[in-house]
Structure formats: structure tokens, C-alpha cells
Amino acid sequence: MNFPSHNQTQNPIFQKIEKARQRQVKVRDSHITLAHGSGGKAMRDLIDDIFVSTFDNPILSQLEDQASFNLTSLLQHGDRLAFTTDSYVVDPLFFPGSDIGELAVNGTVNDLAVSGAKPLYLTCSVILEEGLPVDTLRRVAASMKLTAQNAGVQIVTGDTKVVHRGAADKIFINTSGIGVIPVGVNISAHNIQAGDVVIINGELGNHGAAILIARGELALETNIESDCQPLHSLVATILNVCPEVHAMRDATRGGLATVLNEFALSSHVGIRLDEASIPVKEEVKGFCEILGLDPLYLANEGKLVVVVKREHSETVLSAMKLHSAGENACIIGEVIASPPGVVLLTTAFGTARIVDMLVGEQLPRIC
């Protein structure tokens, strides 16, 4: 048998052919076994076949224990690094409008975006339950790849673990993200001042309602879909017309009510909402009435809360409405000096009630 010479192995064409040959190795098992987390050949084949070949990019293909970046290229986007991490344990894995893979990518991209950062790189760590169908994992990985491409980010490193049957629920995903914040952008809940205006980019509660209905525990038939979407492009649009945004946050677990309570506590101000101005689909309203839920607390995965000075509010609102992720944007309230740390809701009857921080969990395993 003739082995390639050293010069041959250094040839770029030979390296490409060898890499392609290695990637042809396929996982032959139909379900995940403990061997896929053992650190041996079965695990390497799983990683190569499902993750490396799917997320294929120059950084990931190095297959090092870490991803390394050129700092000069990062500095082209700004002067500060944004770094976040989140874990996803949603049940079910696939639901109307989205799935756990898309959720994991968009959720982390959005956590970076609301700081004003340009999202660049993600990690992907998975905990797999023994017995998970391999085709399910392929489907999740393919969804993550497409979502990352649409968001303009690369998945550059990760980890795989397998636990005994019953020790987890099919698949859990952790994604961390790195982005760069442009010079001059300073978005923080601590910037909020009395007189500011609160804007949201669309209807509330779609994700939370879609998840609960998808679990099949209710005999309900609706067309409610998750609002899962990346928000980085919408944020860029907002900052293009108003770099002086005071605060911005995506309303995920705990919904709009939790975000606004966090804002009020951080800046020692009050926030007054107008119930009639808050957009909620009629189907979601009906869903909440049946179950006694409040849409202000339902989870969202594509909703952005923006706080700006009043003089900038119409400019920001107009720009948001021109973006596909902000077509239904509207002003829903204002920041008031007193009472500090309190969110008030002016109802359709002209009365006011306190919108407190969520106590407990309305819907577990929502993201």
C-alpha cells in the first residue's frame, strides 16, 4: 500500500479530498446510544456526520477544543464585546411556527442584538437522551444551520453529551453567543428616564400559546404559531435612525410584564401602560380567557421592547413599521417618575391596576 508523501498531505487539494472522505462516515445507528457520548469513534462519527458537516465553516472545521478569532476582524464592528449564554429545554421539540433548533439560535442572537451588538459567533452544546432518534437530531441541526445562516452568524464550536434514558427529555441545547457593540451605542435599563416612550414590535403571547396547545393537553384547534424570529436586523434599523435608544430587551419568559418591571426597578421609575394599545391576537385573547392566563406574562420569542425619548418615538416607530419584524409595532406606554419601581396598566374602563412581577411559572418548559 502506498502512503501519501508529506508534500502530498500538505497539498490543499489533497486536504480537501481527505476532509470529504472523512465526512462520508455516517452514523449507522437509528437512535442515540450511550456510545455516542463515550468520547470514542461513535461519538466522533456523530459529531462529524451531524454537526460538523451541517454547520460547516472554516473555524468549526479545525475541530479544536475552542474557536479562535482574529481580534482585528472583531474590532471592525465596534469597540466592545457582547457575550451571552442560554439553554433550551422546550417541550415539545417541534411546534407550530418553529422548533428547538431555531429557538436556540434566534434566542441567543436576540440576547446579543438587544445590547446593540452585531451577532457573529455561536456555540452549540447538546445533551442527548439515550434512545433519541438520530433523524430527530439531524432535523434539529438542519434547522439550526438554516437559522444561523439567516441571522448571519456561524456556529463555531460545541459539545455533545449523552445521558441514560429518562435522565433528560430527548434533547437539551445550550448556545452561547459573541457579538460586537458599535462605537457610541449604550443601551441599558439604567438609562430610562421619566417622559420616555415604550414601544413594542408586535403582538404578544403567540409563542406561549402555541407551545401549550402543541402539547396536546387541551382540546383546542387554532392557527396560533410561535413568533420565533431573529431581531438583529430590526435592532440595526432602529439604531440607524436613533443611536440614542435608552433601553431594549426581548420579552421571552415572563413576557412583557416581567421586562417592564425589570426596567422600572433598574432605573427607579414607574411605567404606565395603555391596555387598549397593547397588541394581542384575538385567538390568543380567547386562549387566555379560557385558561385564566394574562397575555402580558406569556412568553414571546420575537418581541422587542424599546424605550426611547419621546422626541424620537415617532421616528423609531416609523422605521420599525417598515421592517418585516416590526410591521405591527406600536407605542404602548410611557415612563413616569412616580411611583418608582411600579408598572401600572390603564384599563379599558379607565381604572388602573398594578402589573407585578410574575410569581411562579405560568407555563414551564417554554423555551
Is 189-354 assigned to CATH 3.90.650.10?
yes
3-state secondary structure of 1: coil
pTM, two decimal places? 0.91
Mean pLDDT of 320-349: 97
Judge whether 28-181 and 189-354 match in fold: no
Residue 191's nearest CA partner among 309, 344, 84, 310 is 309
pLDDT tens for 98-127 read 999 999 999 999 999 999 999 999 999 999
Percent of the chain scoring above 90 in pLDDT: 85
Domain ranges (residues) in the chain: 28-181, 189-354
* Whether 161 contacts 124, CB under 8 Å: no
Q: Does residue 190 sit in helix, strand or coil?
A: helix
Closest CA to 318 of 330, 336, 306: 330
Sorted by sequence, the CB contacts under 8 Å of residue 189 that are 6+ apart come out as: 247, 249, 262, 263, 266, 267
Give Cα 323 to chain centroid, integer Å: 19
Cα distances (Å, whole numbers) of residue 16 to 22, 61, 66, 189, 270:
10, 11, 22, 49, 60
CA-based angle 124:177:181, to the nearest 5? 165
pLDDT score of 159: 96
Residues 72-87, mean pLDDT to the nearest whole number: 95
At 11, is the pLDDT very low, low, confident or very high (cuts 50, 70, 90)?
low
Architecture of the 28-181 domain:
2-Layer Sandwich (3.30)
For residues 121 and 157, what is the distance between their CA atoms, to the nearest angstrom?
9
Over pLDDT 70: what percentage of the chain? 92
pLDDT, one tens digit per residue, over 180-217 is 999 999 999 999 999 999 999 999 999 999 999 999 87
User: Cα–Cα distance between 176 and 194 in angstroms, integer?
Assistant: 34
Are 111 and 250 in contact by the 8 Å Cβ rule? The answer is yes
Q: Report how far residue 93's alpha carbon sits from residue 292's, in angstroms, rounded to the nearest whole number.
A: 25
* Spatial separation of the C-alpha atoms in residues 330 and 199, rounded to whole Å: 6
